[in-house]
Amino acid sequence: MAEVGKNMLLLLGGVYHDFEGFREIMAPFFQQQGYNVRVTYDFDTLVEPTLAEVEVIVLNTCLGGPRPQGPWAADLNPAQTASLVAWVQAGGGLLGLHAATVIGEGSQRLRRLLGGYFVEHPPEAEFTVMPLYREHPITQGIDAFVVQDELFINAYESDVEIHMAASHRGVCHPLVWTRREEAGRVAYVALGHSEKVWLLPAYRKLMAQALMWLTAAPSSAGK
C-alpha cells in the first residue's frame, strides 16, 4: 500500500472515452491505495503553484490526435506542457493511461515525455496481455491475462523499457512501458477503455504497482 498522504492529481478529458466512469470506479481504488486524489478536467492545474505538492500525476485523456473528421479535443498548451515536463524532471511520477498517447503532432514534447504516441487501434476485442521475461517492479507477480479492450498501437521511443505486450496480426505491440526523465519517472499503460478492464484484478494490481514504482524514493525505485 502507498504511504498515507501522497497526493495524486488525476487529469481527465477529451473525446471518445468514458472519463466519468473511470473516475467513479478508479478514484476510490486509488484512495484505497493511500493516495489523496484530486480529480479535475482543468489542465490549468498543471501551472498552479500547488503542483509542487503533488507526488504523482495520472493522465487519462484523449486529446489532439490527427483526425480528418469527427470530434477533436485541444492538446495541452505550451505553458501546461512545459510545466508538466519540468515537474517530472524535478522528480515527479507520471502515469499515462490508455488514450493519453492520443496527442497532436504539434505536441512533440509531450509525446517524448510519455515515450510514444497513438497510431491506431483495431476494433475492441479479446486479447492476451503478456509480461516480458525480464521482471520489473510494476509487473511483479502478474501473469499473462486476457482482456476485452482496445489494443492500442503506439509508435514509441527507443529509450522506453517495455514490460508487457500483446500480439495483433503477427506483430507484438507494447502495452506497458517505463522511462526516466531526469530525476522523474514515467509509466504508460495502454489498457483501460472500459470497466471491463478497470475491474480486473490483474489491471488493478498493475495500477497499484505502477504507482508504487512512480512514487518510490530514487534508491528504492528499482530498475
- Enter the pTM of the model: 0.94
CA dist 161 and 175 (Å) reads 11
CA dist 111 and 105 (Å) reads 9
**Residue 4 burial by Cβ neighbours in a 10 Å radius (0-12, 13-18, 19+):** exposed
Q: What is the DSSP letter of 24?
A: H
The answer for residues whose C-beta is within 8 angstroms of residue 39's C-beta and 6 or more apart is: 10, 12, 23, 27
**Residue 192 burial by Cβ neighbours in a 10 Å radius (0-12, 13-18, 19+):** buried
The full set of domains in the chain, from first to last, is 6-220 (3.40.50.880)
CB 114 within 8 A of CB 157: no
Q: Which amino acid is at 180?
A: R
Per-residue pLDDT tens listing for the chain (223 residues): 444 579 999 999 999 999 999 999 999 999 999 999 999 999 999 999 999 999 999 999 999 876 777 778 899 999 999 999 999 999 999 999 999 999 988 899 999 999 999 999 999 999 999 999 998 999 999 999 999 999 999 999 999 999 999 998 888 999 999 999 999 999 999 999 999 999 999 999 999 999 999 999 765 555 6
Q: What are the DSSP calls for 164-213, one per residue?
A: EEEEETTEEEEEEEEEEETTEEEEEE---SSHHHHT-HHHHHHHHHHHHH
